[in-house]
Amino acid sequence: MKIAIIDYNAGNVQSVIYALNRLNVSPILTNDIATLQSADKVIFPGVGEASSCMKSLKKTGLDQVIPQLKQPFLGICIGLQLMCSHSEEGDTDCLGVFPLKVKKFNKKNDEGEIFKVPHMGWNTIQKLNSPLFGDISEDAYVYYVHSFYAEMHQEFTTAKTTYASEYSAALQKDNFHAVQFHPEKSGEEGSKILEAFLKL
């Protein structure tokens, strides 16, 4: 099975590679279009800033290729955000796989509670509705590091969480799956999610 990880100058790619290695998978890190199109599964991970990440994707033509891929696809963190239509980070038009806006956390919610931004650390996921979560219990803890979030969507949100406000912790449309948290940093629960993706 050929697993491709998209190489687009985003950080945190190595931790995804190590997490897959622990599952006895040796992924290919690539920005080659033909390699991505022929892979059995594609992972789109990363930590970075939306506008600079989109510039990297456009340089290699991957902004046009990614939305057309047909195999199981997993976006992680900024990978999820770039799969949406627009991000407030750098006022960036993104890939448009999900018709959703990515917004910056407010440091204060409607009740006046103060929240640190970025949202960093362990938080739960609820309302799980995806094959990725078959072995995951409701309110399982996963690890987050982000300042921006994708809004909720009745059709495409497959898990939610709350930090300052309720938002999409996971999304799915057809073969495209995405998670805002980092499964590669989420211990046993994260390994189960990656394993479930590999079995799709």
Catalytic residue among 53, 119, 184, 189: 184
Comparing CA positions, the residue from 170, 150, 169, 148 lying closest to residue 49 is 148
pLDDT of residue 12: 83
Among residues 84, 177, 182, 189, the one annotated as catalytic is 182
1-13 pLDDT, tens digit each:
999 999 998 888 9
Residues 184, 46: contact at Cβ < 8 Å? no
- Let me know if 177 is a catalytic residue: no
pLDDT at 108: 86
Residue 144 has pLDDT above 90, yes or no: yes
Averaged pLDDT for residues 43-65: 95
pLDDT number for residue 140: 98
Task: Please check the confidence at residue 193 and state whether its pLDDT lies above 90.
Answer: yes
Average confidence (pLDDT) over 146-161: 97
How far apart, in whole angstroms, are the C-alpha atoms of residue 199 and residue 113?
A: 41
Give me the pLDDT at residue 114, please. 94
Query: Is the pLDDT at 112 greater than 90, yes or no?
Result: no
Is the per-residue pLDDT at 40 higher than 90? Answer: yes
* Mean pLDDT of the chain, nearest integer: 96
Q: Is 84 a catalytic residue?
A: no
Of the residues 77, 94, 119, 146, which is catalytic? 77
Predicted TM-score (pTM) of the model is: 0.96
- Res. 44: pLDDT tops 90: yes
**Per-residue b/e over 47-80, b at no fewer than 16 CB within 10 Å?**
bbbbeebbebbeebebbebbeebeebbbbbbbbb
187-198 vs 13-22: helix axis angle to the nearest 10?
A: 80
Q: Average the pLDDT over 82-106 and give the result.
A: 97
What is the pLDDT at residue 145? 96
Contact in structure between 165 and 117 (CB atoms under 8 Å)? no
Structure confidence at residue 111 (pLDDT): 85
CATH architecture assignment, domain 3-198:
3-Layer(aba) Sandwich (3.40)
Cα separation, 77 vs 180, whole angstroms: 4
Tell me if residue 151 is catalytic: no
3 state SS of 117: coil
User: Could you tell me which residues come within 8 angstroms of residue 194 by beta carbon, excluding any fewer than 6 positions away?
Assistant: 19, 20, 23, 183, 184
DSSP category for residue 86 = E
Query: Looking at the predicted structure, is the pLDDT value of residue 104 above 90?
Result: yes
Nearest to 159 by CA among 133, 183, 141: 133
Q: What are phi and psi of 132, to 5 degrees?
A: -65, -25
